[in-house]
Amino acid sequence: MYITGLPDILVEPVVRDALREDLGLAGDVTADAVILPKARFRAEFNAREAGIVAGLDCARIAMNLMDPHVRFEIVKPDASEVVAGDVIARVEGNARAILAAERVALNLLSHLSGVATLTQTYVKALDGLPARIACTRKTLPGLRGLQKHAVKCGGGHNHRYGLDDAILIKDNHIAICGGVEKALELAKAAAGHTMKIEIEVDSIYQLKQALPFKPDVIMVDNFDLETLREAVSIAKGKTILEASGGVNLSTVRAIAETGIDVISVGALTHSAPVFDIGLDAV
């Protein structure tokens, strides 16, 4: 499976800010001190464990921002499965430029590959079941688009990107406006014809209150397995049911076996381990 990356115009500002932070006011004083200005360098990005690649555009852009003449060859595109020892990409060009971009390139590539790899682990845990794994808005500031791209590389699905692309009524909204029915009544009145509405419920009672309003999605939050099965028996086919809360690799399959449609997992983006990638001279 090949997942195309995000457009450069969206990725470049993130990479540019990261390089600016790393270079500071004086640039790479180490490389400037010990490497001749016209020295050349050739290296490979190598996987040091098995997993899924994501974020190669970040590495490419980091190199090319330091020197547009650096040659960057992608060997294993985003969404590729790799094992330890696989070459992910090759880079060749001015040595100072490549070394100045190295840490930013590896930080973003390793983090996003970690997100993709963790996502695939969750997806594989549901083998044979129809439930989808989705990410959340629990993302690192400034990296949401990249992290959500990485989730797709791992076989997961994206939840809403921000506060503006879907109505999601949560417990605090319900408490402030006076209940499930009032919240949905107001949301229905405010929503345009293309705007989807989701509501979070914390009990079967609230689920039954929500159903007559026909929300597009009902999120059942922190339900135990017995209550999840009851929710599915009541609402399956009437709306999309999303399970959230208490989801980890030891619980996710049992949750999916209740018949739930979507399982949202914040850990995909906020707790993914870094994927080990090295830049090695050749």
pLDDT at 139 (0 to 100): 96
Whole-prediction pTM value?
Answer: 0.96
Q: Say which of 16, 90, 137, 138 is annotated catalytic.
A: 138
| Mean pLDDT along residues 235-243 | 97
User: Active site includes 103?
Assistant: yes
Per-residue pLDDT at 58 exceeds 60:
yes
Best CA proximity match to 136, nearest among 242, 216, 227, 237: 242
Q: Say which of 78, 200, 242, 261 is annotated catalytic.
A: 200
| pLDDT above 90 coverage of the chain, percent | 97
The continuous run of DSSP H or E covering 19 comes out as: helix 8-23
User: Active site includes 198?
Assistant: no
Q: Say which of 90, 170, 196, 229 is annotated catalytic.
A: 170
Best CA proximity match to 43, nearest among 73, 85, 82, 84: 73
Best CA proximity match to 269, nearest among 100, 125, 138, 131: 138
Q: Say which of 16, 48, 103, 144 is annotated catalytic.
A: 103
pLDDT at 5 (0 to 100): 75
| Mean pLDDT along residues 70-76 | 98
| Mean pLDDT along residues 92-113 | 98
pLDDT at 246 (0 to 100): 87
Q: What is the pLDDT of residues 156-171, one digit of tens each?
A: 999 999 999 999 999 9
The total number of residues shown for the chain amounts to 282
Per the CB < 8 A criterion, the answer to whether 271 and 136 are in contact is: no
Q: Say which of 86, 221, 242, 261 is annotated catalytic.
A: 221
Q: What is the pLDDT of residues 122-145, one digit of tens each?
A: 999 999 999 999 999 999 999 999
Beta-sheet pairing, 51-52 with 81-82: antiparallel
| Mean pLDDT along residues 56-66 | 98
Label residue 60 by pLDDT band (50, 70, 90).
very high
Per-residue pLDDT at 1 exceeds 80:
no
Per-residue pLDDT at 108 exceeds 90:
yes
Per-residue pLDDT at 94 exceeds 70:
yes
Strands (E), 21-70: 40-47, 51-52
Best CA proximity match to 109, nearest among 158, 40, 46, 41: 46
Burial 201-215 (b: 16+ CB within 10 A, else e): bbeeebbebbbebeb
The continuous run of DSSP H or E covering 151 comes out as: helix 144-153
User: Active site includes 170?
Assistant: yes
